[in-house]
Structure 1
Amino acid sequence: MLFNLSNPDTAMLSQIRDLVGSALVSPDKISPSNPNIQVFTLIDVDDEIIAIINKQSDVINCKIEIRKQGLLIWLGVSEELAVLAFPYWLISLFKGADYLQLYCQSWRLKLLIQDKNESQKFQQNFLQRRAIIQSQYDIY
């Protein structure tokens, strides 16, 4: 789900917390060395995302934060900050030669792989977190 954070209210913050499992904290207030946050370049996104963030250049960077129950994708917008919040169980991840694609319901993001090691760490963290969440719902 896409949230415009220019004027967040309690209900919105509660909804984000329910999706990703922890309270919302801006990545600018988190240590830059935090291994749970990685910067990616978006090379293809849904038209709806482009319209919402009012793309001002050909390159959009985003910060992806791995949370307990889902991903927060911080969209770098000069005027307004927006975040996508996806629970792990709704996300599909596909890897190409030089990109990753994330799908969640109707949302699609194509991320450029600039550093293969960082991308691999992200994929491992993502898959581990998703496996933990999935194991909590498995019926034996």
Structure 2
Amino acid sequence: MSAAAPRPSVLFVCVHNAGRSQMAAAFLARLAGDRVEVRSAGSAPAETVNPAVVEAMHEAGIDLSAETPKILTPEAVQASDVVITMGCGDTCPVFPGKRYLDWRLDDPAGQGVDAVRPIRDAIEQRVRGLLAELGVPAGA
């Protein structure tokens, strides 16, 4: 009997960890369940998740109200197979041998929920594409 393949781990990074990376992590966690290890962090985390992001995700059936932005650590990057950056530029640590993707998405900071919805929808589509690349079937 062979051991189960290790589950891939993905880290989503943006500056404040209050918008894009929170949405991406939430979609990946919902769609992949326990088949993918999910992390999110920010190079300069905000105190709270953007309220418009919380509202937009609530509309999609995901509750981010209890989430808090987390500081990006080198350990989180080292522990992740795939690191997806979203506008953090040179502030994101880079380690050899990691797979990096940069998702260019509008920043929801200071935007209302009407502006956040298309960002949310774009993130969901990219997460679904990532799951396909990882060979992980999407649930829900």
Decide: shared fold, TM above 0.5.
no
TM-score (norm 1): 0.29
More helix by share: 2
Point out which structure has higher relative CO (alpha carbons under 8 A, 6+ apart). 2
TM-score (norm 2): 0.29
